[in-house]
Amino acid sequence: MNEFDTLLSVLDAWVSKTLVILGGVFYLAGTVGLLRFPDLFTRLHALTKADNLGLGLLCLGLVWQTNSLAIALKLLLIWLLALMASAVSCHLIARYALYEQKTSTKGQS
Amino acid sequence: MSADFCVGMAGFLLVNLLVGLLRIYRGPTRADRLLAAQLFTTITAGVLVLLAVGENKPALLNVALLFTLLAALACLAFVRLPSRHPEDAKEDE
Amino acid sequence: MSDWVFDGLLGTGLLLLGWQTLISRDLFRSIIWFVVLGLLMTLCWVRLAAPDVALAEAAIGAGVTGALLLNAYRALLIDKPPRHPSSVVARHRQTTAWAVGLAAFSTIVVGGISWALLNLPQAGVDLGTLVRSRLAESGVSNVVTAVLLNFRGYDTLLEVAVLLLALLGVWTVHPKDETFSEASSDFAQNSPLVGALLHLLAPLLVLIGAYLLWIGAYAPGGAFQAGAVLAAFGVMLYLSGRLTPTPTATFSLKLLLIFGPGVFSLIALAVMFWGGALLEYPKDWASLLILAVETGVTISIAVTLVLLVSGSPGLKRTYQ
């Protein structure tokens, strides 16, 4: 029973660490996309998709670490809210940029 | 998971934020600058979540919650700006 | 070791952002730099073990202030549309001599203050331990709330009054016939996603505001943080067109504005009838009175901040 417990706790630590590191990798991908992509719209895509996945993996890895249900639920709530806010922000910025391009003199975009 | 690992990951995210500042500096249009600010909201939420669990301070989760709740606020204010001719936009420097 | 790295990065980021905010020639860029500075300030407060301030900074500094500055930028663009693109530019034409002189002066001032701080005589009484030893009498178990609303309640009363005065000041400079309804794009108002987001966020924001108000008694939270969250919600409603500016404030709006300072002052004076000094709560009633005061202050702060961002004397629901 004791060895099983320790094995489980070691597995726990490894799984959560992997998830957190994976989350960090996706954050890195988002930042690289922000800097290297050629156009506003592609940058929007990198930002709102990669970063939220990073946050989600981060939260998932940390859920594994806590003992309290309240904290785990709060972590998931944070991720869901980030998703919602990102979706709306992406949509608004993209529409605004399209409108700006359309109302410029034709042939500029 | 030690506090050191969490703070280390948080530091990595902070490096991401600092490097992303370049987009605010360079971004040719205003929307580019704003979307970098949006990115930093997500990064800061990630940092706070890491610090909350790593150093066992559940109050920081409330701070992260506030960040994600109010992330769309700057965007809502931004899209009310009168749109600008892209040629004007490119002369930001 | 990783603590030092993190704090070092944070400090560098703060200095970088502060420098760029002041030096940037484009006003919009300065605004964005400032918003990001607010984000990093929140992290600073967290690292300085001040989660109450971090909560307030997250709601106000990183949320409402961004909206306020962008709103002001919009008014600037509409009021004085730039004929030449770079006329919306922060001007600083300081010569090198001025810059060097100012830098030297600032260094002397900061250095002098630091030296004075480091050489302070040992305080006769350690305020931290004093507060903690009397915490049980204050009616709450969160040290920050105890200091804000009980031990130094007088300062908080005056702060709430100052906020009201600020709003009155904004009202006096408000132009009589302002119609900033010209929006060349109605994205925020007509977008279906914004409506859905508001529907989802409305109950959450009210709930979290009430939650922060309630836990202020025993965990980081309190009236200012709750009021800031509700204010952010009101600002979202205003920005997405659900609330329209009106040229006058209704009676109920004015009532909401003075509710906080009013309740606070009434309680402050009423406790004198129980043989105490101003604001000396009777010990059995302390937690209840603090909760009543905090509720009033939350409501007033929320309404005041929304009106400060919209700049108009009143707001009403938009009926479509």
Which residue in C43, C58, C235 is closest to B47 by CB distance? C43
Q: What is the pLDDT of residues C212-243, one digit of tens each?
A: 999 998 999 989 999 999 999 999 999 988 88
Which residue in A81, A91, A99 is closest to C185 by CB distance? A99
CA B15 to chain A, closest CA, distance in angstroms equals 9
User: In three state form, how does the secondary structure of C90-125 look?
Assistant: CCCCCCHHHHHHHHHHHHHHHHHHHHHHHCCCCCCC
Helices C2-23 + B3-26 axis angle, to 10: 20
Which residue in B12, B29, B84 is closest to A40 by CB distance? B29
Whether C176 has a pLDDT exceeding 70, the answer reads: no
Parent domain of A59: 2-103
Helices B30-54 + A51-63 axis angle, to 10: 10
- The pTM of this model reads 0.88
Angle at the Cα of A14 (from A13 to A18), degrees rounded to 5? 120
Phi, psi of B6 (to 5 degrees): -65, -45
Cβ atoms of C137 and C117 closer than 8 Å: no
For residue A108, being part of any structural domain is answered with: no
Q: Whole-angstrom Cα distance, residue C129 to residue B35?
A: 46
- Which residues of B are less than 8 Å from A77 in CB distance? 65
pLDDT at position C207:
95
Q: Is B72 helix (H, G, I), strand (E, B) or coil?
A: helix
> B57 in contact with C at a CB cutoff of 8 Å?
yes
| More reliable by pLDDT, B82 or B6 | B6
Do C193 and A96 make contact, defined as CB atoms within 8 angstroms?
Answer: no
Q: Looking at mean pLDDT, say which of A93-107, B79-93, C247-261 comes out highest.
A: C247-261
Q: Whole-angstrom Cα distance, residue C70 to residue C253?
A: 25
Do A95 and C188 make contact, defined as CB atoms within 8 angstroms?
Answer: no
pLDDT at position B80:
86
- Which residues of C are less than 8 Å from B82 in CB distance? 74, 77-78, 81, 182-185
pLDDT at position C185:
54
Size of interface B-C (CB pairs under 8 A): 165
> Which of B48, B61, B76, B78 is best to mutate for the C interface (most C CBs within 10 A)?
B76
Q: Give A108's Cβ-side CA count (13 Å radius).
A: 16
Sequence spans of domains, chain B: 3-90
Do B14 and C204 make contact, defined as CB atoms within 8 angstroms?
Answer: no
How many C-beta neighbours within 10 Å does residue B49 have? 31
For residue A109, being part of any structural domain is answered with: no
Residue numbers of A between 79 and 98 with CB closer than 8 Å to C: 81, 84-85, 87-88, 91-92, 95-96
pLDDT at position A7:
83
Q: What is the pLDDT of residues C28-49, one digit of tens each?
A: 999 999 999 999 999 999 999 9
Angle at the Cα of A104 (from B25 to A45), degrees rounded to 5? 50
Cβ atoms of C140 and C290 closer than 8 Å: yes
Beta bridge partners of C314: C246
> C193 in contact with A at a CB cutoff of 8 Å?
yes
With residues binned 3-state (H G I as helix, E B as strand, rest as coil), the percentages for chain C, rounded to 5, are 75, 5, 25
Do C193 and A91 make contact, defined as CB atoms within 8 angstroms?
Answer: yes
- Which residues of C are less than 8 Å from B69 in CB distance? 201, 204-205, 208, 229, 232
| More reliable by pLDDT, C216 or B88 | C216
> B18 in contact with C at a CB cutoff of 8 Å?
yes
CA distances from C34 to A31, B43, C28, C37, C148 (A): 20, 17, 10, 5, 28
Do A92 and C191 make contact, defined as CB atoms within 8 angstroms?
Answer: yes
Whether A107 has a pLDDT exceeding 90, the answer reads: no
* Neighboring chains of C (3 or more beta-carbon pairs < 8 A): A, B
**ipTM here:** 0.90
Sequence spans of domains, chain C: 1-117, 141-320
Residue of chain A with shortest Cα separation from B1: A13
Q: How confident is the model at residue B90 (pLDDT cuts 50, 70, 90)?
A: very low
Q: Which two tokens stand for residue C91?
A: 């001007």
Q: What is the pLDDT of residues A44-76, one digit of tens each?
A: 988 888 999 999 999 999 998 888 899 999 999
Element at B36 (helix H, strand E): helix B30-54
* Neighboring chains of B (3 or more beta-carbon pairs < 8 A): A, C
Q: Whole-angstrom Cα distance, residue C314 to residue C234?
A: 12
CA C4 to chain B, closest CA, distance in angstroms equals 10
pLDDT at position B67:
93
The mean pLDDT value for B39-44 works out to 93
For residue A73, being part of any structural domain is answered with: yes
Residue of chain C with shortest Cα separation from A74: C208
> Which of A88, A100, A103, A104 is best to mutate for the C interface (most C CBs within 10 A)?
A88
pLDDT at position C50:
92
> B51 in contact with A at a CB cutoff of 8 Å?
no
The tally of domains found in chain A comes to 1
